[in-house]
Structure 1
């Protein structure tokens, strides 16, 4: 339901102009209703129908119809007077940089005053501008009305359908260009990624260090116990090692010592690797990986098989994006 916020109206510094907006809004609605009714009455069939069933209405309105331009000019004179007053106020208040900007910005107000059928309906734009201004000042809230929610829902649905089709069309075109041998990959590697190789190495180094520190350090005791348990289980499954226990006197001792030593070595190696990754010393290692992934374009050329694999990967990624774009989110809001 449409309601007028009187508190915002009273507190507004534009109260006089907003009251004029309300008055002009009412006059515009009456004027447009008058224009529509006169256009309908202009049909001979409608005049004959009224003459047969409502002769009093027909006889009372027919003189008004014959002098329609005169009555419409009364409304036009009011609209032009209000237009000139607002223009003068905009010049005095220096709302625009130049005094002659106002009629160009509010062209629909001026053209709507021309008493010709095709121009008269431009007065609808004036209704929309006044309603938008009232909405901006929070005097009227159209967003709570059923008409607004109805049209907003279907407008969003239309825009989503249109944008989805455009995006899918564009992505399909990109896939076609990729399959035809587009230089996109060379541009990405040589012009975008390679000049930023040092930045990528720094970023990956920080990300790996944070992941190792947050994921490993709090759980290193549990991970060490798990590794030792798995190594011990694997060694017990080894046939050659299990034969050591048959050695007289020292066999079981050698077997236990070897199992403990191997488990400790594996756990220490994993521990040292993860500690290195969690520290700043991992930068050289990450930089070597980045250098291998992004070789110097002047000295190394990609193999055809690598190029085809990259094309296949990019196409699969684009297909996944297209599948997500095809999801109709507006259908979830259907009643």
Structure 2
């Protein structure tokens, strides 16, 4: 149900104009109802029906119908008076940059005042503009009405269906281009990705360093203990190394020394790799990886089988996107 926020109406600095809006809204509704009824009465069958069942109503309204233009001009005169009042106020308050902008912006107010059947119904636009203005000032809130929710639900459903069909058509066309051997992938690599290799290298270097700092540095002690434990376990499972303990006198000592040395070497190597990745020195390493994936234009980096595999991967990705687009979100809101 549409409710009027009287508190906002009282506190508004344009209370007079808002009251005029309410008055004009009522007159427009009455005028449109009058126009619709007169259009219906214009049919001979309706006149005969009234003459048979409601002759008093027919006799009263017939003179009104014959002078319909005069009564409609009464409404038009009120609408034009309000229009020129608002125009004068907009000029005085410098609402628009030029004084003559107002009639062009509110053209539907003027055109709707022309007493021609097809143009009279443009007064509906005036009703919409008044309701929208009242909604902007939070005097009324039509978004809470059932009619608004009903209309917006089916509007969203229509727009989703329309946009889904357009997107599916575009994606299907893209798949056809890829299947026909379109140079799209090569253009993306050479014209978009390759000129930005430096930026990609810098970004990946920063992200890798950040990930290493946040993931490794606070847990280096636990990681070292884990690596030494796993290396020690692996060495004990090694048959050749286990035979060293059978050497007389020095066998167990050599075995323990080798286990400790290998564990320490592995832990130090992993530690140094992660330390390098966590610092700015990883840039050259990341840059080499980017250069492998984005070689100089013209270099042969993939054979036919690899190219076909890349095309198939692209087609599968597009299929996945199309499957997601086919999901009808508006149906989830149905009761």
Per the normalisation by structure 1, the TM-score is 0.93
Distance 2:168 2:187 in 1: 23
Q: How many residues align?
A: 335
Matched, 1:125 2:114: no
2:65 is matched with: 65
Structure 1 distance, partners of 2:297, 2:168, is: 32
- Report the equivalent of 1:6: 6
1:92-111 correspondence to structure 2 within 5 Å:
92-111=92-111
**1:286 matched residue in structure 2:** 286
Shift >6 Å, 4+ stretches:
none
Equivalent residue number for residue 25 of structure 2: 25
Q: Secondary structure at the match of 1:311?
A: helix
Deviation at 1:234, TM superposition (A): 1.9
- 2:138 is matched with 138
User: What is residue 324 of structure 2 aligned with on the other side?
Assistant: 324
Q: Distance in 2 between matches of 1:105 and 1:199?
A: 48
In the TM superposition, residue 22 of structure 1 has moved relative to its aligned partner by 1.0
The residue aligned with 2:78 is 78
Offset of residue 180 of structure 1: 1.9
- 1:20-57 per-position Cα deviation (integer Å, ceiling 9, x unaligned): 11111000000011111112222222222222222222
* Aligned residue in 2 for 1:151: 151
Identify unmatched segments of 5+ residues in structure 1: none
- What displacement does 1:328 show? 2.0
Give the superposed CA RMSD: 1.9
Q: Who is 2:112 aligned against?
A: 112
Tell which deviates more after alignment, 323-332 or 261-270. 323-332
Distance 1:294 1:37 in 2: 73
In the other structure, the counterpart of 1:242 is 242
Unaligned 5+ runs, structure 2: none
Q: Report the equivalent of 2:49.
A: 49
Shift of 1:159: 1.1
Shift of 1:264: 1.7
Deviation of 1:165 (Å):
1.4
* CA-CA distance at 1:298 after TM superposition: 5.2
Deviations 1:237-278 (A, max 9, x none): 222222223323332332222222222211111111111101
Aligned-pair CA distance for 1:11: 2.6
Hey, what's the Cα distance between the residues in 2 that align with 1:319 and 1:283? 36
Distance between the aligned counterparts of 2:309 and 2:212, measured in 1?
Answer: 30
User: How far apart in 2 are the matches of 1:247 and 1:217?
Assistant: 41
Counterparts of 1:298 and 1:94, CA distance in 2: 63
Give the superposition deviation at 1:147.
0.9
**Other structure's SS at 2:295 match:** coil
Q: Give the whole-Å Cα distance in 2 for the aligned partners of 1:184 and 1:136.
A: 47
Cα offset, 1:227, TM superposition = 1.7
Bigger shift: 133-142 or 225-234? 225-234
Map of 2:224 onto structure 1:
224
- Counterpart residue number, 2:16: 16
Aligned match of 1:210 = 210
